[in-house]
């Protein structure tokens, strides 16, 4: 494993603690704390800049790290870029919440984001002569689906909407995306998948349905923080 003990950025200061090559990325830093304390052995805090908690520990004898990313593509873009390009992280698995867009998807169902539609302009910086397909690592996706099936978890595999807009003035937006087969909406996958692709890293987004954009059902903040354990188990077992 690489030596990153002396490296730091304005947003991540490990203070001598090693960051593993496999990283789990919940949006909520308190979910990162929950994962570290309940799933990892010997967790050590490696970051608390801006309250964005990060920990390194072991899972079944393998070193792994977990850190919050905050909300939205720009926040994910900063953290994932630094983790990949400064700290040498090779595999990044986002474990987050989403709003379902299809009637057959229920609260607490798990979604594996095969690809991401987006209204973000994050890809413009690469000056590509066309549109880039924003897709997951097939290796990670295949493993996640196999693990979920073995555990008999309710899982949907398909495209999500990675949106820069949480409160949308266009009241027809959800219906339009749903007609295109989009499973759910979230806000971070675009920049994660693009950063990984640009640097040759692997990335996958695993989501738990926290609310429903058609039925308007929703979970509580506490439930989002501590009870979305099935996707955490899938992510950990991938390694």
Give the residue numbers of the binding site for a purine D-ribonucleoside: 11, 186-188, 210-211
- Return binding residues: 11, 27, 31, 50, 94-97, 186-188, 210-211
- Return binding residues for phosphate: 27, 31, 50, 94-97
Is 6 in contact with 17 (CB distance < 8 Å)? Answer: no
Is 80 in contact with 197 (CB distance < 8 Å)? Answer: no
Active-site residue list? 211
- Residue bearing tokens 């987050």: 96
94/25 Cα distance (integer angstroms): 4
* DSSP structure class, residue 51: G
Is 21 in contact with 65 (CB distance < 8 Å)? Answer: no
* CA angle (137 as vertex; 226, 175 as ends), nearest 5: 65
């Amino acid at each position: 494993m690489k030596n990153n003990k002396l490296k730091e950025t304005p947003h991540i200061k490990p203070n001598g603690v090693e960051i593993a090559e496999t990283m789990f990325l919940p949006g909520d830093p308190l979910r990162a704390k929950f994962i570290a304390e309940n799933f990892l052995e010997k967790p050590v805090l490696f970051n608390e800049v801006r309250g964005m908690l990060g920990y390194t520990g072991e899972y079944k004898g393998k070193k792994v790290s977990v850190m919050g990313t905050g909300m939205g593509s720009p926040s994910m873009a900063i953290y994932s870029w630094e983790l990949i390009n400064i700290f040498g992280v090779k595999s990044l698995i986002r474990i987050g919440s989403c709003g379902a867009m299809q009637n057959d998807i229920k609260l607490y169902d798990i979604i594996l984001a095969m690809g991401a539609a987006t209204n973000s302009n994050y890809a413009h910086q690469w000056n590509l002569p066309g549109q880039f397909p924003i897709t997951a690592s097939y290796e990670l996706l295949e493993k996640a689906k196999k693990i979920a099936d073995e555990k008999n978890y309710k899982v949907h595999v398909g495209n999500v909407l990675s949106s820069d807009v949480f409160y949308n003035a266009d009241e027809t937006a959800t219906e339009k995306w749903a007609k295109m087969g989009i499973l759910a909406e979230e806000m971070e996958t675009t920049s994660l998948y693009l950063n990984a692709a640009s640097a040759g890293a692997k990335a996958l987004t695993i989501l738990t349905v926290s609310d429903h954009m058609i039925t308007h059902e929703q979970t509580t903040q506490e439930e989002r923080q501590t009870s979305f354990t099935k996707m955490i188990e899938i992510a950990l077992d991938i390694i």
